[in-house]
Structure 1
Amino acid sequence: MTKALLDIRDLIVEFPSRHGGVVAARQVNLSVAAGEILGVVGESGAGKSTIGNAVMNLLERPGRIGGGEIYLKGEKISNLPDHEMRKIRGKRIGMIFQDPLTSLNPLETVADQLIGTIRTHLDLSADEARARAISLLDQVGIPDPAVRVDHYPHQFSGGMRQRVVIALALCAEPEVILADEPTTALDVSIQAQILELLKDLVRQRGVGMILITHDMGVIAEVADRVAVMYRGEVVETGPTAKILGDPDHAYTRSLISAVPRPDIRLHRFPMVESIERAGERRELDLSTHWLGKARDFDTRGGGGATGPLLAVKDLEMVFRSGGFLGSKASSLRAVDRVSFDIRDGECFGIVGESGSGKSTIARLVTGIYKAAGGSISFNGTDLTKLKNRKELNKHRRQMQMIFQDPFSSVNARMKVRDIIAEPIRFHKLSGSESETRRIVDDLLDHVGLGARAAVKYPHEFSGGQRQRISIARALATRPRFLICDEPTSALDVSIQAQILNLLKDLQEELGLTMMFISHDLPVIRQMCDRVGVMSKGRMVEIAETENLFVAPKDDYSKHLISLMPSYSGLSEREVGQAEAS
C-alpha cells in the first residue's frame, strides 16, 4: 500500500457546552497519498469542513480535538502548540477555501498577499518573492500576470479569484492541499477550468489533496477515492468507480439517487431517505384556501388570455461608471437587445456563464433595474411605459423573486412571521391582523416548516429551511409569475432535491409561471420546459429543453453542454430507482 502523506486516525472533534456539547466528528479514519485526490462528500453538517479545520488547527472555540491523531509524513501534528502549527500551516499544508472573496484581503493587492505569504515561509528577497508570485499566477492560468499581480481582489472575476486562492495555497510548495468546496459558486465552464487545474497540480507536483464537496459531479470528474460522511462519521470509503457505481451503504445509495440527472428527465427528484426532512407539506384544498382564491389580475389586462404572459423585446441594459473627478468614464452593455417570451404556466430556463446577463434580466423584469431600451410586456401591459406607482405595484405584486442566498435576502432582525407578513400588509391583502397571522401559518405549513417556525429568527434555520421561508414570502402576494435566481446553487444535493420538488409541486398546484435562472445544467433539464442560452449579454439560442440538450444549434450552447458532468459512473441501480420515482 502507498505510504500516506496525511493520515487521520480515529479522530474525534467535539464542541463542549454547558448543555453537554456536540460531537461533530467521531472515529474518523482518512488518508491521502502523494499524487492522489481523496474526495470527502456528504450533506451540510456531515462534518466535512470540520475535518479540514481540525487538520489545520483552525477549529473555532470551544471546538477541540477530543481524541485520535493526525500524522503528516509520519509526524504527529494534532494538538501542536500554535507557534509550532504556524510552521506547518501554509508551508506544508495549504488550504483552498470555498469563498475566494472572503478569504482574500480586499484592502491589499494580490501582490501584497502573495509576497507576504511567500516571505513568511521561504527565505527569499522581496524581488525574488515578487517573481515567484508572478510565476504562480501564470501557472494557475491568469493572463498577463505581471500586470494583474498588482490588482485588488474585486478587480477579478469569481473564477479568477479562485485561481488567486489556489496560487496562495501553492506559495510554499505544500505537501498536502485541503480544498473546501472550491467550485461551489462557479458556473460550469469556470468549474471545468478550476478542476482541470487542480488535477494537473496534483499530478505534476505530487501533492496529496483532500477535496471536500457536496457535488457528485466534481467527485466523478477528479477524485481517485471517495469517503462518504454522515452525521460526523465516515460510513463508506473506496475507489471512486466503486462508490459511485456500486455503493454498499444505504445512505450513499440514497445520496447518489438525489443527484440531478443530465441524461434523463424525471418527474420528481428522488429524496435522500436517511435524513430527517425539514418538514412535510400539508395538503391543502386550494379551491377554498387563500392561496387558491381567484386572483383579481387574472381577469384584467386582456393580453394574457391569448398571448404569452411575459414578452421581452429588444431589452437593453448598460452599466456606466467613472466620469467624475477626472476619472475616465466607462460603460458595460450587460444586456444587448434580448428578446424572448414565457407562456402562461411554463417554466422557462435561462442559462449561461457568470456575467452573461442572466440575473440582470431578472432585475429588469421585476423593476429593480430600469431598462435602457426595449419593452417588457406582462399580461399584455408594457411595464416600461407605466409611470403611475399604484399601477406598477399592482403588476409587481403578481411577480415575486426567490434569490440565490436565502439569508441575505431576508431581514435577519425580523421574526419569520413578520418577514412573510410584510408583503401581505404592504399590498393590503388581508382584512385583519388575525387573518394575516393565519395566512402566514398556512404558508409555513404549505412549504413544510409548520406554524411553529413563525416565532423564530432566520439564523435559527438551516440553508434549506431558510430557502423555504423565502418561498413562503414569495407566495404571500399570491403571485402569478415566480422568478427563481439560482435558488439552490448553495445547497447540498439532498436539500436541493427537496426545494426543487417543492417548486415543482407549487407550480402544478397554483398554476405558477416561472423563470428559472441557473448555471447548473442538469437542474435546468429537470425543471424547465424551454431554455434560453445567454452569452455576453445576448440570447444566442432558445429551444425546447430536450431539443437543446440532445441537439444544440449554437456553438456556444454546444460548448456549454459539453462541459456538463456526465455522471457516467453513477450506479445504474440508483438511476433505475430515480426513473421509477
Structure 2
Amino acid sequence: MSVLSINNLTVRFPGRKSTFTAVEDVSLTLEAGKILGVVGESGAGKSTVGNAVIGLLQEPGRITAGEIRLDGDRIDQMPEASLRKLRGKRIGMIFQDPLTSLDPLQTIEAQLVETIRVHLPLSPAQARERALELLKAVGIPGAEDRLSQYPHQFSGGMRQRVVIALALCAEPELIIADEPTTALDVSIQAQILDLLRKLCRERNVAMMVITHDMGVIAELTDQVAVMYRGKLVELGPTAQVLGHPSHAYTKSLISAVPRPDIKVERFPSVSYIEEETPPSSAIDLSTHWLGKTRSHEPVTGPLLSLSDLSMRFETRSSVFPSRRRYFDAVKSVSFDIREGETFGLVGESGSGKSTIARLITGLYHPTGGSIRFAGQDLTALKERKQILAMRRQMQMIFQDPFSSLNARMRVSAIVAEPIRLHRLASSNAEVAQIVADLLDHVGLGAAAGDKFPHEFSGGQRQRISIARALATRPRFLVCDEPTSALDVSIQAQILNLLKDLQQELGLTMLFISHDLAVIRQMCDRVAVMRNGELCELADCEGLFTSPGHAYTRQLLTLMPSMELLAASQQG
C-alpha cells in the first residue's frame, strides 16, 4: 500500500469575477522509503499540491475534485481538529520561506521543545536534548549557544535548517519538503540532501520534494513529476525524465539550467514557455527612461573599495563588559570592485556575505574599516541629503522577497515608491508608465501592478523586488541571492536581463549567491568567504578551473551532479 495516494486532485480558488484552477486532475503515488520530486515553474501548482496534502490551502482555495489518502485513510475530508494531530506527527512539512514559518518572538529552543512535546512523550529536559541533537544534525555550528537565540539572529540558510529540524521533530512517516534547500549554500545543501536520503532509507520515510532546483532533483529523487500550469505533464523515474525527457516543457526546463562546466554568453531561451506566453515587446533602452543614466562624477580607480571591513554583533548584553558576548560576522575584509564588472561573493550560510551587502548599502554601520564608493567614504556620510543621493546610486535585491515587500501596498505602489522618493519622474502618468515598463521587463506584465504581494508565488515576488531595485536607474546593484526563489526558466530570463542591463547601462554589480553554476555564468571575478574572512579572490574562470584554496576546492566538489542534465542539454 502506498504511503501517499493522490487521485484526480483539482484545487480551485474562486474569486469575484472568475475562478482560478491552481491544480487540475493530478494523480500521484508515493511509496515508503521513496523520494518523489515535483518540479515546474513558479505558479505551476507544485506548492498547492503539498498544501492540499497537509490541509493548509490558503482561503478561499478548496479541493473541488479528487481525493488524498495517507496509508489508505482518506485525509482530505478530515475535520480540522484531526488534521492538527496529523501535522507534525505523521506528516512533516518543510516550508519554502523560513522567516515566515518561525515565530520571531520565541527562541529556537522554545519552538523546537514545544513541537517535540506536543507529539512525543518526553520531559522538558529530554525534549531540549532532542532539540540540540536535531540542530547538530542539520549542520548548525555552536548548537548549544544558538538554541537560546531568536530567528532574526540566524542567516537565511541557518533559518532554513531550523525549519528542517522542526519537520523532523516527531519522526513523521511522510515529509513534504517545499524548496528545502533554496537558501542553502552547496556545502550545507550536500549535508541536508544526505540527511534527507538517510532519513528515507533508514526509517522508511516517504518524501515529496517540491523544488525548482534540477540539481536537487538529480541528486535526491527516485521519481519526478513535472507540472505546468496546474497540470501534470510528465511523470517517471528520475534518470528517464532528466536524461531523456519526452515533453517539450520538460526539455525547455532542462535547457535553462545553468551549466556548471562551461561559461556561456547567454542563458538558453525557454522556447516552450515563451511560445505559450509571448514576452513583452522589447524596450529601446537608448531612448527610454530606463536607459537614461544620471550624471556621475568620473571615478579614478575602483568604483567600490572595502578596506579592513569588520562587523561585530553583540549576542549577549550585560552591564558588565566582561560578561558581554560578541559574534564577529565580518573580519577585516578587503577587496575592490571595478566599474562595469560583476563581482561574485560566495561562501556558506553565515560566512558574512549578506552582512557585507548590508554594510555597503548602509543598512549596518561597520565596527571597523572603511567603505569607499565613487571616491566617497560612506561611513562618514551624516547628512540625509548626502545619504539619499548615494542610495539612489546603490540599490539592493534582497534574498527574501516576502519580508522585503510591504504586504499592504499594491505592486504598482511598491515599485513607484523609490521613483517618487527620489523625484525621478515629472508626473503621475510618467510614474505609471515607468512602473508598467519595469513589470513587463521582469516578466510579470503591467497588469501585475493592480495586485498585492500575497497574490504571487515566491518567484514572482522576487521579480517585483528586482523591478523595484531598477526603479532608480542605479549605478551599483547589490544582488543578494536574486534568483534563489526562482525556477530555472524565470531565472534564465532574469539573469539574461541583468546581463543586458549591465551592458547597456554600464551597471556595476555585486552578485551574492550560493549557486556556483550561476556565479560562473554571471561574474568576472569571485571572492570566496568562510567564517567572516576572505579565503580567495580570483578571476571567475581561473577560480573554477584552478582553485587555489582548499575550501574553494571543497565547495566545487560539493556541487550537485549534473551529468543527466548535461547529457540532455547536449542532446
The TM-score, its normalising length taken from structure 2, stands at 0.87
**Hey, what does 2:535 align to over in structure 1?**
540
Q: Describe the SS at the equivalent of 1:361.
A: helix
The 3 A distance-change label for structure 1 pair 177 and 320 is: closer
**What is the CA–CA distance in structure 2 between the aligned matches of 1:358 and 1:171, rounded to whole Å?**
30
| Structure 2 residue 382 is the aligned partner of structure 1 residue 348 | no
Q: Describe the SS at the equivalent of 2:236.
A: strand
- 8 Å contact from structure 1 (residues 278, 449) kept in 2: no
The superposition leaves residues 192-220 of structure 1 with CA deviations (integer Å, 9 ceiling, x where unpaired) of 11111111111111222222222111111
| Counterpart selection for 1:334 from 329, 337, 343 | 329
**Hey, what does 2:252 align to over in structure 1?**
254
**What is the CA–CA distance in structure 2 between the aligned matches of 1:270 and 1:212, rounded to whole Å?**
24
**What is the CA–CA distance in structure 2 between the aligned matches of 1:294 and 1:441, rounded to whole Å?**
19
What amino acid does structure 2 have at the position aligned with 1:48?
Answer: K
Deviation at 1:544, TM superposition (A): 1.0
The 3 A distance-change label for structure 1 pair 172 and 400 is: closer
| Counterpart selection for 1:177 from 155, 175, 178 | 175
Q: Describe the SS at the equivalent of 2:302.
A: coil
Deviation at 1:348, TM superposition (A): 0.8
Considering only aligned residues, what root-mean-square deviation do their CA atoms show, in Å? Answer: 3.4
Q: Which deviates more from structure 2 when the two are superposed, residues 48-57 or residues 379-388? A: 379-388
The superposition leaves residues 454-489 of structure 1 with CA deviations (integer Å, 9 ceiling, x where unpaired) of 565555555555444444443343332222121111
| Counterpart selection for 1:511 from 499, 506, 509 | 506
Q: Which deviates more from structure 2 when the two are superposed, residues 134-143 or residues 469-478? A: 134-143
**What is the CA–CA distance in structure 1 between the aligned matches of 2:241 and 2:193, rounded to whole Å?**
20
* 1:135-150 to 2 correspondences below 5 Å: none
**Hey, what does 2:35 align to over in structure 1?**
37
Deviation at 1:311, TM superposition (A): 2.3
- 8 Å contact from structure 2 (residues 160, 183) kept in 1: no
Give 5+ residue unaligned stretches, structure 2.
none
The 3 A distance-change label for structure 1 pair 126 and 508 is: closer
**Hey, what does 1:397 align to over in structure 2?**
392
* 1:28-177 to 2 correspondences below 5 Å: 28-86=26-84, 88-106=86-104, 117=115, 120-121=118-119, 162=160, 164-177=162-175
Q: Describe the SS at the equivalent of 2:564.
A: coil
The 3 A distance-change label for structure 1 pair 329 and 121 is: closer
Q: Which deviates more from structure 2 when the two are superposed, residues 476-485 or residues 522-531? A: 476-485
**What is the CA–CA distance in structure 2 between the aligned matches of 1:359 and 1:150, rounded to whole Å?**
23
**What is the CA–CA distance in structure 1 between the aligned matches of 2:424 and 2:14, rounded to whole Å?**
47
What amino acid does structure 2 have at the position aligned with 1:311?
Answer: S
Q: Describe the SS at the equivalent of 2:65.
A: strand
**Hey, what does 2:306 align to over in structure 1?**
312
Deviation at 1:252, TM superposition (A): 0.8
**Hey, what does 2:472 align to over in structure 1?**
477
| Structure 2 residue 559 is the aligned partner of structure 1 residue 561 | no
- 8 Å contact from structure 2 (residues 108, 147) kept in 1: yes
**What is the CA–CA distance in structure 2 between the aligned matches of 1:410 and 1:108, rounded to whole Å?**
23
**What is the CA–CA distance in structure 2 between the aligned matches of 1:488 and 1:440, rounded to whole Å?**
21
**Hey, what does 2:481 align to over in structure 1?**
486
**Hey, what does 1:375 align to over in structure 2?**
370
Q: Describe the SS at the equivalent of 1:267.
A: coil
Q: Which deviates more from structure 2 when the two are superposed, residues 323-332 or residues 146-155? A: 146-155
The superposition leaves residues 75-130 of structure 1 with CA deviations (integer Å, 9 ceiling, x where unpaired) of 44442344554554433333333344544445556665555555555566667666
Q: Describe the SS at the equivalent of 2:254.
A: helix
Q: Describe the SS at the equivalent of 1:43.
A: coil
- 8 Å contact from structure 1 (residues 278, 448) kept in 2: no
**Hey, what does 1:295 align to over in structure 2?**
294
| Counterpart selection for 1:500 from 486, 489, 495 | 495
The 3 A distance-change label for structure 1 pair 433 and 524 is: same
Deviation at 1:229, TM superposition (A): 1.5
**What is the CA–CA distance in structure 1 between the aligned matches of 2:128 and 2:367, rounded to whole Å?**
44
Deviation at 1:554, TM superposition (A): 0.9
**What is the CA–CA distance in structure 2 between the aligned matches of 1:136 and 1:467, rounded to whole Å?**
31
**What is the CA–CA distance in structure 2 between the aligned matches of 1:149 and 1:99, rounded to whole Å?**
20
**Hey, what does 1:523 align to over in structure 2?**
518
- 8 Å contact from structure 2 (residues 254, 569) kept in 1: yes
The 3 A distance-change label for structure 1 pair 100 and 534 is: same
**What is the CA–CA distance in structure 1 between the aligned matches of 2:179 and 2:326, rounded to whole Å?**
34
Deviation at 1:58, TM superposition (A): 3.0
The superposition leaves residues 222-259 of structure 1 with CA deviations (integer Å, 9 ceiling, x where unpaired) of 11111112222221111111111111111111111111
Q: Describe the SS at the equivalent of 1:266.
A: coil
Q: Describe the SS at the equivalent of 2:3.
A: strand
The superposition leaves residues 320-345 of structure 1 with CA deviations (integer Å, 9 ceiling, x where unpaired) of 35544568323332222212112221
What amino acid does structure 1 have at the position aligned with 2:391?
Answer: R
- 8 Å contact from structure 2 (residues 42, 460) kept in 1: no
**What is the CA–CA distance in structure 1 between the aligned matches of 2:134 and 2:462, rounded to whole Å?**
39
**What is the CA–CA distance in structure 1 between the aligned matches of 2:446 and 2:157, rounded to whole Å?**
41
| Counterpart selection for 1:219 from 217, 220, 223 | 217
**What is the CA–CA distance in structure 1 between the aligned matches of 2:367 and 2:177, rounded to whole Å?**
42
**Hey, what does 2:282 align to over in structure 1?**
282
- 8 Å contact from structure 1 (residues 375, 384) kept in 2: yes
What amino acid does structure 2 have at the position aligned with 1:56?
Answer: I
- 8 Å contact from structure 1 (residues 188, 353) kept in 2: yes
The superposition leaves residues 471-526 of structure 1 with CA deviations (integer Å, 9 ceiling, x where unpaired) of 44433433322221211112222222221111111111112111111111111111
The superposition leaves residues 507-551 of structure 1 with CA deviations (integer Å, 9 ceiling, x where unpaired) of 111121111111111111111111111112222111111111111
- 8 Å contact from structure 1 (residues 282, 448) kept in 2: no
The 3 A distance-change label for structure 1 pair 337 and 443 is: same
Q: Describe the SS at the equivalent of 1:541.
A: strand
**Hey, what does 1:579 align to over in structure 2?**
none
Give 5+ residue unaligned stretches, structure 1.
577-581
The superposition leaves residues 105-156 of structure 1 with CA deviations (integer Å, 9 ceiling, x where unpaired) of 4555666555555555556666766666666666666678788767766676
What amino acid does structure 2 have at the position aligned with 1:529?
Answer: D
- 8 Å contact from structure 1 (residues 281, 448) kept in 2: no
Deviation at 1:158, TM superposition (A): 5.5
Q: Describe the SS at the equivalent of 1:4.
A: coil
The 3 A distance-change label for structure 1 pair 108 and 472 is: closer
**Hey, what does 2:265 align to over in structure 1?**
267
- 8 Å contact from structure 2 (residues 401, 462) kept in 1: yes
How many residues are matched?
Answer: 568
What amino acid does structure 2 have at the position aligned with 1:205?
Answer: R
- 8 Å contact from structure 1 (residues 111, 130) kept in 2: yes
**Hey, what does 1:187 align to over in structure 2?**
185
**What is the CA–CA distance in structure 2 between the aligned matches of 1:537 and 1:329, rounded to whole Å?**
20
Larger Rg: 1
**What is the CA–CA distance in structure 2 between the aligned matches of 1:144 and 1:537, rounded to whole Å?**
15
The 3 A distance-change label for structure 1 pair 398 and 72 is: closer
The TM-score, its normalising length taken from structure 1, stands at 0.86
**Hey, what does 1:361 align to over in structure 2?**
356
The 3 A distance-change label for structure 1 pair 51 and 472 is: closer
Deviation at 1:180, TM superposition (A): 2.1
The 3 A distance-change label for structure 1 pair 323 and 529 is: same
Deviation at 1:387, TM superposition (A): 4.9
What amino acid does structure 2 have at the position aligned with 1:254?
Answer: S
**Hey, what does 2:199 align to over in structure 1?**
201
